[in-house]
Structure 1
Amino acid sequence: MIQNIVIIGAGPTGVLLAHYLLRRGNYHIDIYERRPDPRLTPSASLRVNVSRNRTFPISLQERGRKAIREIVGLESSIAAQSVFCQGTIIYGKKGKVRQVPRQNPVLTIDRNRLVTILLQQLTETYSPNQVKVHFNCECTAVDGTAKTVTLKPEQGDSFTVHYDLLVGADGARSRIREYLVENAGLVCSQSYVPDAYKSVFLSRLNPSAGVELEPNKIHAWNLNNKIRMLMVPQPGNQLNGVIIFEAQTNPLEGLSTKEDVKAFFQENFPIFGQLMSLEEAEALRKRPVARVLTVRCDRFHEGDSVLLIGDAAHAVSPSIGQGCNSALEDVLILGQLLEQYGDDWGKVLPMFSEQRVPDAHALRELSDYTFPRQKLLVVEFFWRLTVRRLFHQWFPHWVKPFVFDLVLETDLP
C-alpha cells in the first residue's frame, strides 16, 4: 500500500529524506517549501539576490557525508561542486597570520548549491508520480486528527492535503513544531545565540591589488571579541561567508552608501576589503541581519504520523559546524530504523526520538560551550587543543583524543 508523505521544508534534510524514502518503493511524497526554487537562481546573481535566497557555506564532515553516501552517486556529485579545505588561516592586526592545519580535509559547499544537487538528482531519479516539489508555498495550519495540512501558495488560494506521515523539516522556526507545542504537549525551549550575522560574497582574487587568497583554506579574521569574519572558498574563485557581530551592535548599521561599506572593510578587514566589489558592498548594505535560533525538544515525534527532523527538532549554534551534519545524520538513523522495523512508523518514530534526543541535547551543549567567547580563553583553548593533540600523537594509549576532534572527524554519537 502506497503511503502519502508530506514533507514541509525543501532544505538539505527534507530532500535527502525524500531520497531515502523513495528508494524503499512504497511512498508517494509531496515536498512544500516557502522559499523560491534555488535551481531558478542563476549562480552569477546569487550574491545579489541572497536576501531572497538564504544561503551560507556548509562544511560536510564524516557525520553528514556518511548519510549522503547511502544514495548512489550523490557524494561524488556534491564533491564535484565543492572545495576541500585543508585548514584555516586566521588573520590578525598588523598583518599577523596564523595557520591551523587539518589532518582530514573538510568538504565545503554553498547551502543552496547543496540543495540544488539534491533536488536535481531526486527529480532525475524519480517520476512526478512518485515525488513533487512545490516552492513558494507556506504551511499555515495542521489538523492532526484529520491528518491534513493547509498550505498557502504565493499566488492563489489556500488548499488542504491529506498525509499518512507529516514531516517537519522546516527549520528552526518550524510551523510543524509550533503545532505540536500548542496541541500535542511537546516541550520545547528556544533561544537566540548572542551573535547576529550577514552573508558576504567575495572573489578570491584581485589581480590589480595583488591579492590572491589560498584556494583550499578557510579564511578567518577576528577584529575583536565582538566582530569577526569567516570566508569559505567555493568553485569559480568565489568566497562565501559571513560577518558576525553582537546582535545589539551591528557595525554596518550606520553605513549609508556602498562606498562607506567598502571603506569599513578596507579599514577593519583590509584583505577582504580589497576583494569586495562596490556591487557586493551595496548588496551587503541592503541584506537583512540574520539571527541563529537554537531549539531543544523533549521528543521528535507525535504518535505514528508526525516527525520533526533537522533544525526543526534540534537547531544549534554554528560554532562547531555540526548543525547540518547532525541533521543529515537524522536521515541516516531514520533509514536504519525503517529497515529494522519494516516501515512500521508506530515503532520507528518512538525509537527515533529515543535514539536521537540524547545526541541532540549533547550537541547543543557542545555547540554552546566548547568554543569560548573571551579573548584570553580563546588563546587558552587553542593552546590546550594543540597540547592535547601532540600528547595524543606521542602517547595514544594514555592520552585520549580531544573531544572537539572526535566530533569533527568521526561519526561518534
Structure 2
Amino acid sequence: MALVQKAIIIGAGAAGLLLAHYLLRRGDQYCLELYERRPDPRQGEMSQARTFPISLQERGRKAIREIPGLEEAIAAQSVFCQGTMIYRPKSKPRRIPRQNQILCTDRNELVSIILQELTNRYSSDRLKIQFDCTCTQVDARAKTVTLESNTKEQFTTSYDVLVGADGAKSVVREFLVQNTSLECEQHYVPDAYKSLGVSRINSEKGLSAEPDLIHAWTLDNNTRLLLVPQPGDRLQGTLIFNAENNPLEGFSTPEQVWELFQEKFPLCGELMTMADADTLWKRQVARILTVRCDRFHEGDSILLMGDAAHAVSPSIGQGCNSALEDVLILDKLLDRYRDDWRQVLPQFSEQRVPDAHAVQDLSDYSFPRNKRLIFEFFLRLQVGRLLHRWFPQRMKPFVFDLVLDSDVSYSEVLRLNQGWINKVKRSVS
C-alpha cells in the first residue's frame, strides 16, 4: 500500500490544527501544509468580534488529551466550571451542577495554544503553515488546490489527501457540491447574536458573579444571554435573540444598552461598564449557518470535518466538541486500516454522518422555548439524575447530562431521548 506523503488541510481552526497534531505524530510518512484565510491568531490581529467562548466537555477534552501536554497547556489559560446558573424573570436563579468539569476558554486563545504547541513540536520540513491565504479552486482529478495570498499572489500545490476544515462556509465543500454528487443543506438558524464581555467583579458595588459557573439568562421573548468565565476575572459571552426581534434595534446611545441590561439582566447590568455597553452597541449582528451533508468524503482523497461537514447551532455548545471528536474518530480509523485512506474515508462518513445529523437535532431541540416545557425540562433533568443514581445500569440520565457529561454517541443520545426531541420540535412548529 502506498503511504500518503502529503496532506493539505484548508482551515487552521481548532479541528484543523488538532488533526495536524494527530497526523504528524503518526510518523514520517506524513508531511503537512495548512492554509488559513485569517491572520495568525498569535499576532493579536484577529478581530475580537470573531472570537467567542468555548466550553470543552468530555468529548472535546478526550480528543485533546491524546496529544501529551496539550490539555494542560489549554487548561493553564482557561477556567474550570462546575455547572450553569440559570436566571429567569421573577424566579430564583437555578444552579445546574455538572458531573464533570467544563473547560471554558476563548476561541482565539484555544486556537493559539494548539497552534503554538504544533509549531513547537514539528519542524518546517514536515509542517508548513500559511495564514492570510484563501483556497480558490480544487482540482480533484489532478489532486491540486489553488490558493491566493493577501497580496493577490496565486499558486497551486498538489496533495495526496485534502481535508476541508474551513468552517461553515467551506470552499472545499462548495467545490464538492458543485462538482460531485455531494448533497448539502444549509440554513441560517432563526437566532442572531452579538458577542460581549464584562468584568466578573464590580468592586465598587461589592458584586461578583460566581467564578466557576456559566451564567445564562432567558427572557420571555426567547432573548438569551450566556456569559462564560475567562481568565483574568472576565466573562465572555453572547446575547442571542430572534433575528427579526433585535432587542437593541433602534438604540442610538450606549446608555440605552446599559439601561436595558440593568432591567433585563440585572447581575450582568451591574457588572457592565459604559465602555462594555458601547462595544456591544457598535458590534455587528452575526448569524449562525447550519450545515447538513449526506457524506463527508469524496473518492479516496478528500475529507470534510468540523463545521465544514456539520455546523450546528451553538445552543448546547457542541460545535467545537463535535469537531474535535471528528479528529479522534478519524485517528482510530487510520489505526484500524493502517493509514489506507481509500478505506478510511468511506468508513468515516458511515460512522460520523448519523452522529452529525443527531447533534443537529439535539442542538436545535434539546432545550425548549415555551414555559410549560421549560418546567418539564427541569423536572426530567432532576428525575433522570435521581433514577440514574438509583439504577445506573438501567436508567440513563436526561439528554443534557448525556451530551455534556459523557461521550455516548450523539446518535445514541438522540435515540434515548427521541420522544422529548419530538415534543420540543412540535412546540416550535
Farther-moved stretch of structure 1 (390-399 vs 355-364): 390-399
1:231-242 superposed matches below 5 A: 231-242=227-238
Partner residue of 1:27 out of 10, 19, 30: 30
Quick one: structure 1 residues 145 and 203, their matched pair in 2 at CA, closer, same or farther if it must change by over 3 Å?
A: same
Matching residue of 2:15? 13
Counting only pairs closer than 5 Å after superposition, residues 99-110 of structure 1 correspond to structure 2 as 99-110=95-106
Equivalence map 1:308-323=2 (5 Å): 308-323=304-319
1:369-403 per-residue CA deviation (whole Å, 9 max, x = no partner) reads 22112222111111121122112223445533323
What residue number does 1:266 align with?
A: 262
Residues 373 and 294 (structure 1), Cα distance of their counterparts in 2 relative to 1, 3 Å cut: same
Aligned pairs for 1:2-401 within 5 A: 3-24=5-26, 25-41=28-44, 49-51=47-49, 54-94=50-90, 96-401=92-397
1:184-214 CA deviation, whole Å, 9 max, x = no partner? 1101111122111111111101111221111
Task: Note if contact 1:225-1:374 (Cα within 8 Å) is conserved in structure 2.
Answer: no
Q: Aligned partners of 1:137, 1:280: CA distance in 2, in Å? A: 33
SS in 2 for 1:172: coil
How much has 1:408 moved relative to structure 2? 1.6
The one-letter code of the counterpart of 1:26 is Q
List structure 1 segments (4+ residues) > 4 angstroms apart after TM superposition: none
* Conservation of the 8 A alpha-carbon contact between 1:6 and 1:166: yes
One-letter amino acid of the counterpart of residue 50, structure 1: Q
Range with bigger deviation, 162-171 or 91-100: 91-100
Contact 1:166–1:306 under 8 Å retained in 2? yes
Question: C-alpha separation between the residues in 1 aligned to 2:256 and 2:290?
Answer: 33
How far does the alpha carbon of each residue in 1:29-67 deviate from its partner, in whole angstroms, 9 at most, with x for none?
11111112111118xxx8xx423xx11111111111111
Deviation, 1:248, is 0.9
Paired positions, count: 406
What residue ranges of structure 1 are gaps of 5+ in the alignment? none
Change (3 A) 1:400 1:411: closer
CA RMSD, Structure 1 to Structure 2 (Å): 1.7
CA-to-aligned-CA distance 1:135-181 (integer Å, 9 cap, x gap): 11111221112212122222232222221111100111111111101
Asked if the contact 2:366–2:399 (Cα under 8 Å) also holds between the matched residues in 1, the reply is no
* Deviating more after overlay: 342-351 vs 251-260: 251-260
- Residues 406 and 93 (structure 1), Cα distance of their counterparts in 2 relative to 1, 3 Å cut: closer
Aligned AA for 2:84? T
Q: Distance in 2 between matches of 1:226 and 1:158?
A: 46
Tell which deviates more after alignment, 260-269 or 26-35.
260-269
SS in 1 for 2:48: helix
- The whole-number CA distance in structure 2 between the counterparts of 1:339 and 1:394 is 38
Deviates more, 1:325-334 or 1:403-412: 403-412
In the alignment, structure 2 segments of 5+ residues that lack a partner are: 410-429
What is the deviation of 1:94?
A: 5.0
Contact 2:10/2:165 (<8 A) preserved = yes
CA distance in 2, matches of 1:310, 1:2: 22
Q: Is the 8 A contact 1:225 1:375 kept in 2?
A: no
Deviation at 1:296, TM superposition (A): 1.1
Deviation at 1:70, TM superposition (A): 0.8
Question: Within 1, Cα distance between the matches of 2:4 and 2:269?
Answer: 55
Structure 1 equivalent of residue 416 of structure 2 = none
- Report if the CA contact (8 A) 2:98-2:405 is conserved: no
Q: How far apart in 1 are the matches of 2:25 and 2:396?
A: 40
2:23 is matched by which residue type in structure 1? L
Shift of 1:219: 0.8
The 1:82/1:220 distance shift into structure 2, 3 A limit, reads same
TM-score (normalizing by structure 1): 0.94
Contact persistence 1:9–1:34 (CA under 8 A): yes
The Cα of 1:96 is off from its aligned counterpart by 3.0
Identity %: 64
SS in 1 for 2:134: strand
Secondary structure of the residue aligned to 1:128 is coil
Partners in 2 of 1:159 and 1:276 — Cα distance?
A: 48
Please give the alpha-carbon distance, in whole angstroms, between the structure 1 residues aligned to 2:393 and 2:147: 57
CA-CA distance at 1:2 after TM superposition: 6.3
